[in-house]
Amino acid sequence: MKIVDLYRSRVTRRLIARVLLIFVVVMIEPAVAAPEDEVRTTFDRFVAAQNAHDVKAVESLLLASPDFLWITRGTPVWGADAALKRFTALYEGTWKLEPDVANLKVIMTGDSVAQIYVPIIFTIGATGQSPQQTRFLMNQLLVKTPSGWKVSSILPIPAPAQ
């Protein structure tokens, strides 16, 4: 093997290694989700769990704390356990959420705190009663925990129908 061939083979190997390194860096960057995307995904999972009446899935998305707050019909429900009991009772009837995702906003208030705002239609009805649709301006506060984003408050504000 000539010296020129040896040099070319080293240069070629280094070039290939650099190209592969650049490729890996370029592929990894988009794979890391922005916090806003993680929060949106958590909200999507929350809506899906609510609409499936899946108490266990909802439980996995709520902050397991007595400081969890849900305002419902003007009444505060404190603590994830109390909220889950209330959800379980509501799931016996009609309970469906239809967020206007085109108008969903995620506001990062810190590295580990986010607020969600989204207009939403609730279809609600007790067992044996006709369900009613009500429009709300949904506000949620989410916090990042070691196990992911968790809903720490649910604050729906009644809004006029459009």
Alpha carbons 74 and 65: distance in angstroms, whole number: 21
Alpha carbons 94 and 159: distance in angstroms, whole number: 20
Residue 147 has pLDDT above 90, yes or no: yes
Q: Are 53 and 91 in contact (CB under 8 A)?
A: yes
| pLDDT for the residue 58 | 97
Give the predicted TM-score (pTM) of the model: 0.78
* Partners of residue 83 on adjacent β-strands: none
Q: Are 101 and 120 in contact (CB under 8 A)?
A: no
Residue 159 has pLDDT above 50, yes or no: yes
Name residues whose C-beta falls within 8 Å of residue 139's C-beta, 6 or more positions apart in sequence. Answer: 115, 116, 117, 153, 154, 155, 156, 157
Which of 89 and 26 is assigned the larger pLDDT?
89
Q: Are 153 and 145 in contact (CB under 8 A)?
A: no
Alpha carbons 46 and 58: distance in angstroms, whole number: 6
Alpha carbons 10 and 135: distance in angstroms, whole number: 67
Mean pLDDT, rounded, for 115-120: 98
Which of helix, strand or coil describes residue 18?
Answer: helix
| pLDDT for the residue 143 | 98
